[in-house]
Amino acid sequence: MTRRRVALAAGVLVVALAAFTARFVLWPATDEPGRADAVVVLAGGLGERFPAARALVEDGVAPVLVVSHGRSGCGERRDGYETLCFTPDPDRTQGEARATARLARERGWETIVVVTSTYHAARARKLFERCLDGEVRAVGVDPPTRGGLPTPRNVLREWVAWPHALVAERGC
Domains identified in the chain and CATH numbers: 3-168 (3.40.50)
What average pLDDT score do residues 158-163 get?
Answer: 92
Residue 169 has pLDDT above 80, yes or no: no
Sheet holding 64-68, edge to edge: 77-78, 81-86, 64-68, 38-41, 111-117, 135-141
Output the pTM of the full model.
Answer: 0.91
Q: Which of 41, 32, 33, 37 is nearest to 62 (CA)?
A: 37
Please name every residue paired with 86 in a beta bridge, in sequence order, or none if there are none.
68
Q: Which of 141, 164, 152, 147 is nearest to 21 (CA)?
A: 152
pLDDT band at 3; cut points 50, 70, 90: confident
Helix locations, the chain, DSSP H: 3-21, 49-58, 93-107, 118-131, 152-163
Q: pLDDT of 95-104, one tens digit each?
A: 999 999 999 9
Residue 16 has pLDDT above 90, yes or no: no
pLDDT band at 26; cut points 50, 70, 90: confident
**Contact at 8 Å (CB) between 54 and 70?**
no
Quick one: 116 exposed, middle or buried, by C-beta within 10 A (0-12, 13-18, 19+)? buried
Residue 74 has pLDDT above 90, yes or no: no
pLDDT at 54: 94
Determine the angle formed by the axes of helices 152-163 and 118-131, rounding to 10 degrees. Answer: 20
Q: pLDDT of 95-139, one tens digit each?
A: 999 999 999 999 999 999 999 999 999 999 999 999 999 999 999
